[in-house]
């Protein structure tokens, strides 16, 4: 009598399907190719992405590589609730590339990390579509990434994403804010909404306190959208606008400092570029705060101070320029289809603080 062989466990039994992951990786390569330029050396089955520096950096005398990594925080929860995943990748790219362009850097290439309990190709393809679109908007190539399947680590139907970008800037053109002086003006670029910060408070306000649903229309608050549509609105990518403006006004004494307004809002992010002896006074009447922030504040009964400390409040990027150059810079921004607003000025002060009056 032949003894039966006991079947051993497989990776599939543990919840990981190597075949599905392999097919997904193969399928997304064609999407990645849509972001490629001649600088990318194709290596579809390789262990790393290849990017040719010489063909791109020959215009630089002293090229400095600039890097950043970021995620989108709990805004992912909104995507899960709505089962809408094609914009969250734009947020991911935006959070990374907006951080390096403030130093004057041109984004070169992007990598992503997309982890889930189980690879669901339809969902992850939507996420990748957003990342590809974000890279197109930023003018950088998506040359690689990692898509681990981690059963038991993430809740069913959920995933996490992180992004990594590399850019380049001429050493003498790195924007640090060191030349900012009292009397300079603060120009704000409008945000597209909440962007990707403050969503733990957003969810607390709308879903825990007010018991609202993502499909609830906001008509009574003056918005012709649903709550979910307003919350999932992708982060604005400012790269092309900023680079056009920098190229138009190359001398360092024109664009003295740039700040990406993310977590911490205007109060925490502008001081990061201020030198000693400088503070900033912002006049809130100079720009219209988007209605979504007023809704959050009213429903959550949140103070002005807390709102300005958590959210961008309608300003996604700040440029600091000499008073004499304001009109020229505003004209350039208007031509780049990203109109700017003078929202304040640099004042004398030792504490590097932002006053909002």
Confidence grade of residue 236 (pLDDT, cut at 50, 70, 90): very high
Residue 4: pLDDT over 70 = no
Q: Looking at residues 335-347, what average pLDDT do you find? A: 95
d(CA 206, CA 227): 9
Beta strands in the chain (DSSP E): 40-41, 50-51, 63-70, 106-116, 141-146, 159-170, 185-190, 257-260, 278-282, 315-321, 340-348, 354-356
Q: For domain 185-356, give the CATH number.
A: 3.90.650.10
3-class secondary structure, 84 = coil
Q: Collect all residues with Cβ–Cβ distance below 8 Å to 196 and sequence separation of at least 6.
A: 72, 73, 75, 91, 94, 95, 235, 262
Closest C-alpha to 250, from 189, 178, 137, 169: 169
Q: Which of 184, 207, 342, 192 is nearest to 275 (CA)?
A: 184
Q: Domain ranges for the chain, please list them.
A: 18-173, 185-356
18-33 vs 121-138: helix crossing angle, rounded to 10: 30
User: Which pLDDT does position 75 carry in this prediction?
Assistant: 98
Give CA–CA dist 186/206, Å, rounded.
33
Res 343: pLDDT: 98
pLDDT per position as a tens digit, 166-195: 999 999 999 999 999 999 999 999 999 999
For the stretch 131-173, pLDDT in tens is 999 999 999 999 999 999 898 898 888 999 999 999 999 999 9
CB-based contacts of 192, cutoff 8 Å, min separation 6? 233, 234, 235, 236, 316
Nearest Cα residue to 262 out of 285, 286, 238: 238
Order of strands across the sheet with 141-146?
Answer: 63-70, 159-170, 106-116, 141-146
Structure tokens at 118: 């189980």
pTM of structure? 0.90
What rounded mean pLDDT belongs to the chain?
91
Task: Please report the sign of the dihedral spanned by the C-alpha atoms of residue 120, residue 123, residue 127, residue 129.
Answer: positive
Asked if domains 18-173 and 185-356 share a fold, the reply is no
**Has residue 223 got a pLDDT over 90?**
yes
pLDDT digits (tens, 9 = 90+) for 9-35: 655 655 666 555 566 666 677 777 778
Q: In this structure, what token pair is assigned to residue 327? A: 């009109």
Element (H, E) at 19: helix 18-33
pLDDT, residue 163, reads 97
Q: What architecture does CATH give domain 18-173?
A: 2-Layer Sandwich (3.30)
CB atoms within 10 A of CB 100: 25
């Amino acid at each position: 009598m032949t003894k039966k062989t006991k079947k051993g466990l497989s990776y599939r039994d543990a919840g990981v399907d190597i075949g599905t992951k392999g097919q997904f990786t193969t399928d997304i390569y064609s999407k990645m190719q849509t972001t490629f330029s001649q600088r990318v050396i194709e290596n579809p089955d390789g262990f790393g992405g290849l990017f040719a520096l010489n063909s791109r950096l020959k215009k630089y005398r002293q090229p400095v590589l600039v890097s950043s990594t970021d995620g989108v925080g709990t805004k992912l929860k909104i995507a899960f609730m709505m089962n809408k995943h094609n914009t969250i990748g734009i947020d991911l790219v935006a959070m990374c590339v907006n951080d390096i362009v403030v130093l004057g850097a041109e984004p070169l290439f992007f990598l992503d990390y997309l982890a889930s309990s189980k690879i669901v190709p339809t969902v992850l393809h939507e996420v990748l579509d957003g990342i590809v679109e974000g890279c197109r908007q930023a003018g950088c190539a998506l040359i690689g990434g990692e898509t681990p399947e981690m059963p038991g680590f993430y809740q069913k139907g959920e995933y996490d994403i992180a992004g990594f970008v590399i850019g380049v800037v001429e050493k003498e053109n790195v924007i640090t804010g060191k030349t900012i002086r009292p009397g300079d003006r603060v120009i704000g670029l409008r945000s597209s909404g909440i962007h990707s910060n403050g969503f733990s408070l957003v969810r607390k306000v709308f879903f825990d306190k007010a018991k609202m649903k993502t499909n609830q229309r906001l008509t009574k608050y003056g918005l012709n959208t649903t709550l979910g549509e307003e919350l999932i609105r992708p982060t604005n990518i400012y790269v092309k606008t900023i680079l056009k403006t920098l190229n138009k006004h190359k001398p360092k004494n024109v664009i003295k400092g740039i700040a990406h307004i993310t977590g911490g809002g205007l109060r925490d992010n502008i001081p990061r570029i201020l030198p000693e002896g400088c503070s900033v006074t912002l006049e809130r009447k100079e720009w219209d705060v988007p209605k979504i922030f007023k809704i959050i504040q009213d429903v959550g009964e949140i103070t002005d101070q807390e709102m300005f400390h958590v959210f961008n409040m309608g300003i996604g990027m700040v440029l600091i320029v000499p008073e004499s150059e304001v009109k020229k810079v505003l004209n350039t921004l208007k031509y780049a289809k990203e109109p700017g607003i003078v929202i304040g000025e640099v004042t004398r002060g030792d504490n590097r603080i932002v006053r909002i009056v």
